[in-house]
Amino acid sequence: MKRLSKTSRANGLTYVMVVAAFVILQALSAGGGLSSTLQGQLVPICAYVVMALSLNLTVGILGELSLGHAGFMSVGAFAGTVAAVSLQAALPSAPVRLLVSMIVGAGCAAVAGFLIGIPVLRLNGDYLAIVTLAFGEIIKSIVNNLYIGMDGVGLHVSFLKNTMTLGEGGRMILNGPMGIPGIQKISTFTAGFLLILVALIIIFNLVNSRAGRAIMAIRDNRIAAESVGIGVTKYKMMAFVLSAALAGAAGTLFAQGQTAVIATKFDFNTSILILVFVVLGGLGRMWGSIIAAAALTILPEALRGFATYRMLVYAIVLILVMLATNNPMLKSFFARIIPKRKGASVDG
Amino acid sequence: MAKKFDKPKMVPVPSHSIIPERDIDKSPILECSHLGIDFGGLRAVDDFNLTIGRTEIAGLIGPNGAGKTTVFNLLTKVYQPTRGTILLDGMDTSGKTTVQINRMGIARTFQNIRLFSNLSVEDNVKIGLHNQEPYSMLSGILRLPNYWRQEKAAHQRALELLSIFDMQDLAGVKAGALPYGAQRRLEIVRALGTNPSLLLLDEPAAGMNPSETAELMENIVKIRDTFQIAILLIEHDMSLVMGICEGICVLNFGQVIAKGTAEEIQNNPEVIKAYLGTHKEA
């Protein structure tokens, strides 16, 4: 009979891992030990780590497959960036502006998650997955045709560019398919690190609380969960909205680290990429998601030496890693080294 | 022992104000009248009448396919009945959902065990305590004082409940890794966590050996005595049914063919016919 590992210990190790990685990378970067490409990758890595964590909440903890997670990242990216650009004068301090724009991004993504959740969470399994895929594409199309401009009066929103008449000194922020160009890069590695910590705290604390147990109960056995008086729809929605909000914050972080963002960046491929992080890292296993997201974001850059064959090698590496992590021999080998780690449903 | 599991004070029944002369203590906890459900053209249960007293242990027996589990599903509103009414504690339950029924006071176990198998034994019981430890998601995430207080109480309560079956040492074990008998017992503990006034047990002794069954019998009586609740159980093990059930209801092809005490049931020709068939005269 397997004993459950102390979840709190595994969670603690995850925090230690994240903090240690941050300290080491900060030290390296201060000492000039990081290549400029890797330096530029730090913020996207943090964003993808938070994306993987938030999707793991939906897929691993709630147990519903979502194929449209990039849609929430997109909502967060554009809402957050619009907020950041329009608040540029009001909030001169970059960190404060980033914080406010992240909250705006997370809030808008949460609203989107709620609206999408109403029809989607009535479905189960494969059907739910397909519908989330469709909603991801719908979000992409909407943002792709959205024009937002700002003048002295305030923000103007339109789906048709030629109907927008901006006042004196007004300018376009979001320009439909052109996206948002000329973003001031205010995202920093420290901000990304803090967002990862916040996401971890939220997820770990949720999982070890009444609401988290209810969510996992629904995942394990919906009929039994109802029989003990757990409102299934409420808790499904809670997890889904929280997951969307975290993805929104990650989207804002990502966008504020780029010089420009366009809607087509957050398409189906991105959703699948994030799902790959989650599956590779292990469902419900947060430290796995962090490592997988970080490693797979760096990998294409690290494989630059292969030039044309880069993506081919990337795919092969991915297949090999998947095979290796699911190899029973390797699994039992690791189980012998770290016996306490095995058997937990939700650990760091 | 009795002290330890003292039930919280009885909440006044809302129907009390409507029917003032009603004697709460003597009134039945459950009254089903003319209950029935059709699946297409099949009358799975028809004209089912049953009354269960407040601290009664009642048995529901019958051959395979008689509709016993369907009755449980009707009582817990997994299926909405086609006909008839169910009164729980004098209150009509029509139109309620499974979740609302549980909050009104019916808890159940399942014939094919439905545990949260990836979670620990303690977490399974704590999920049963879900509606007994009210704190918001926010105070859970922010770890407000209320969280610590409620979690501590839930932990204590979970261990207390597990100690009914001497399972407190298994609190940290993954529920899916428990042996079969222990999984059945854990389901009962989880159901008790919801603070029911009527407990439905669907074949609690299935897969247990005679000594385990005897122990289970004692425990069922103990649960009734300490929690002062009514228990309705479906069981094929006649030693258990005849040993502890104060009232027995026999179901065949969706209809009640006999009701009464163990002795009455054992001598009822209808029941013998249903179980063994009739001797065909040549």
Residue A341 has pLDDT above 90, yes or no: no
Q: In terms of pLDDT, which residue wins out, B16 or B224?
A: B224
Query: Residue B190 is nearest to which of A216, A228, A343, comparing CB atoms?
Result: A228
A contact set with B (CB within 8 A): 1-4, 201-202, 205-206, 209-214, 216-217, 219-221, 223-232, 238, 343, 345
Question: What is the spatial distance between Cα A297 and Cα A290, in angstroms, rounded to a whole number?
Answer: 11
* The last residue of a domain, from among B194, B218, B247: B194
Q: Kindly tell me the sign of the dihedral angle through the C-alpha atoms of A278, A280, A284, A290.
A: negative
Disruptive mutation site among A1, A3, A4 for chain B (greatest number of B CBs within 10 Å)? A4
Residues of B in contact with A228 (CB under 8 A): 102, 107, 127-128, 130, 190-191, 193-194
Q: How confident is the model at residue B9 (pLDDT cuts 50, 70, 90)?
A: very low
Q: What is the pLDDT of residues A91-140, one digit of tens each?
A: 889 999 999 999 999 999 999 999 999 999 988 888 999 999 999 999 99
Same domain, B227 and B245: yes
pLDDT greater than 50 at residue B10: no
Under an 8 A CB cutoff, do B99 and A212 touch? no
CB-based contact B120 A4, cutoff 8 Å: yes
CA distance A308 to B34: 76
Would you state the pLDDT for residue B121? Answer: 96
CA distance B80 to B74: 6
Per-residue model confidence (pLDDT) at position A318: 84
Run of H or E including A157: strand A155-158
Q: Enumerate the residues of chain B whose CB falls inside 8 A of the CB of residue A2.
A: 173-174, 177
What residues does B231 pair with on adjacent strands?
B57, B199
DSSP-assigned beta bridge partners for residue B42: B39
Q: Domain of residue B52: give its range.
A: 29-105+196-282
- B122 and B72 within one domain: no
Cβ contact A229–B135 (<8 Å): no
- Look at A302 and B94; give whichever has higher pLDDT: B94
Distance, in Å, from the CA atom of A196 to the CA atom of A293, rounded to the nearest integer, reads 12
Which stretches of chain B are assigned E, i.e. beta strand? 30-39, 42-52, 57-61, 83-88, 91-92, 106-108, 198-202, 230-234, 247-252, 255-260
B174 touches chain A (CB under 8 A): yes
Residue ending a domain, among B143, B164, B194, is B194
Least confident of A156-170, A247-261, B224-238: A156-170
| B250–chain A Cβ distance below 8 A for any pair | no
Can you give the pLDDT at residue A3?
45
Q: How far apart are CA A28 and CA B147, in angstroms?
A: 40
pLDDT for the residue A161: 73
Residue matched to tokens 């989207």: A251
pLDDT at res. A170: 80
* Closest by Cβ to A229, choosing from B110, B123, B130: B130
Give the pLDDT mean for A303-320.
83
Beta bridge partners of B31: B51, B87
CATH topology of domain A11-267: ABC transporter involved in vitamin B12 uptake, BtuC (1.10.3470)
Interface contact flag, B141 A205, Cβ < 8 Å:
yes
Of A324-333, B94-103, B130-139, B174-183, the range with the lowest mean pLDDT is A324-333
Beta partners for B250?
A: B61, B258
The verdict on a CB contact (< 8 Å) between B174 and A206 is no
pLDDT the model gives residue A5 = 53
Q: Hey, are the CB atoms on B141 and A2 less than 8 Å from each other?
A: no
Q: Which residues of A touch B194 (CB under 8 A)?
A: 228-229
B30: nearest Cα among B197, B190, B249: B197
Q: How far is CA B268 from CA A25, B57, B68, B107, in A?
A: 82, 20, 19, 31
Cross-chain residue pair B173–A202, CB shorter than 8 Å: no
- pLDDT above 90 covers a percentage of chain B that reads 72
B184 touches chain A (CB under 8 A): no
Same domain assignment for residues B182 and B244: no
Greater confidence (A171 vs B239) lies with B239
Residue A25, H or E segment: helix A7-30
pLDDT of residue A6: 63
Please state the domain extents for chain A. 11-267
List the beta bridge partners of residue B59. Answer: B233, B248
Q: Do B119 and A221 touch (CB under 8 A)?
A: no
User: Which pLDDT belongs to residue B15?
Assistant: 43
- For testing contact with chain A, the best of B101, B123, B148 (most A CBs within 10 A): B123
CB < 8 Å to B181, chain A: none
Q: Are residues B213 and B281 in the same domain?
A: yes
Contact map slice: B 67-86 vs A, CB within 8 A: 76, 78
**Is residue B36 one of the residues assigned to a domain?**
yes
Q: Which of A202, A214, A232 sits opposite B141 (nearest CB)?
A: A202
Across the interface, whether the CB atoms of A209 and B172 are under 8 A apart is answered no
- Label each residue of B98-135 as H, E or C: HHHHHHHCEEECCCCCCCCCCCEHHHHHHHHCHHHCCC
Letter for the amino acid at B166? D
A206/B177 CB distance under 8 A: no
Confidence of residue B26 (pLDDT cuts 50, 70, 90): low
Distances (CA, A) of A235 to A69, A216, A285, B119, B147: 19, 10, 20, 17, 18
> Which residue in the set A219, A225, A227 is minimally distant from B108, CB to CB?
A227
pLDDT above 90 (res B272): no
Q: Is A79 helix (H, G, I), strand (E, B) or coil?
A: helix
Name every chain B residue with its beta carbon within 8 A of the beta carbon of A57: none
Residue B275 and residue B240 share a domain: yes
Model pLDDT, residue A337: 65
Contact: A224, B110; criterion CB under 8 Å: yes
Q: B67-123 pLDDT, tens per residue?
A: 999 999 999 999 999 999 999 998 899 999 999 999 999 999 999 999 999 999 999
Q: Which residues of A24-35 are buried (b: 16+ CB within 10 A; e: fewer)?
A: ebeeeeeeeebe
**Dist CA A317 CA A41 (whole Å):** 20
* Structural domain includes residue B15: no
Interface predicted TM-score of the whole assembly (ipTM), two decimals: 0.85
Secondary structure of residue B232 in the 3-state scheme? strand
Continuous segment of H or E residues that includes residue A103: helix A94-120
At A39 the pLDDT is: 87
Residue A52 reports pLDDT greater than 90? yes
Q: Which residue among A201, A217, A226 places its CB closest to the CB of B99?
A: A226
Do B44 and B100 belong to one domain? yes
Contacts A232 to B, Cβ<8 Å: 99
Whether residue B5 is contained in a domain is answered as: no
Query: Of B194, B224, B245, which residue is a domain's last?
Result: B194
Q: Do the domain assignments include residue B19?
A: no
| Banded pLDDT at B25 (limits 50, 70, 90) | low
Which one of A211, A220, A229 has the shortest CB-CB distance to B137?
A211
Q: What is the residue-averaged pLDDT of chain A?
A: 88
Query: Which of B143, B177, B193 lies nearest to residue A2, judging by beta carbons?
Result: B177
Does the beta-carbon distance from A216 to B117 stay under 8 Å?
no
Contacts of B193 in chain A (CB under 8 A): 228
pTM: 0.87
User: Are residues B124 and B190 located together in one domain of the fold?
Assistant: yes
pLDDT > 70 fraction of chain A, expressed in percent and rounded: 94
Residue A146 and residue A176 in contact, taking contact as beta carbons nearer than 8 Å: yes
Task: Output the domain CATH number for residue B267.
Answer: 3.40.50.300
- How many structural domains are present in chain B? 2
Which residues in chain B have their CB less than 8 angstroms from residue A219's CB?
A: 118
**Amino acid identity, position B143:** R
pLDDT digits (tens, 9 = 90+) for A183-229: 889 999 999 999 999 999 999 999 999 999 999 999 999 999 999 99
* Mean pLDDT (whole number) for A288-315: 86
Across the interface, whether the CB atoms of B172 and A1 are under 8 A apart is answered no
Are residues B100 and B225 both part of a single domain?
A: yes
Size of interface A-B (CB pairs under 8 A): 110
- Interface mutation target, options A209, A246, A342, chain B, most CBs of B under 10 Å: A209
Six token digits for residue A130: 């397909």
What is the identity of the amino acid at B280?
A: K
Whether B145 and B94 share a structural domain: no
Q: Is residue A195 within 8 Å of A252, Cβ to Cβ?
A: no
| Residue A70 pLDDT > 90 | yes
Kindly state the average pLDDT of the residues B271-278.
83
Structural domain contains residue B9: no
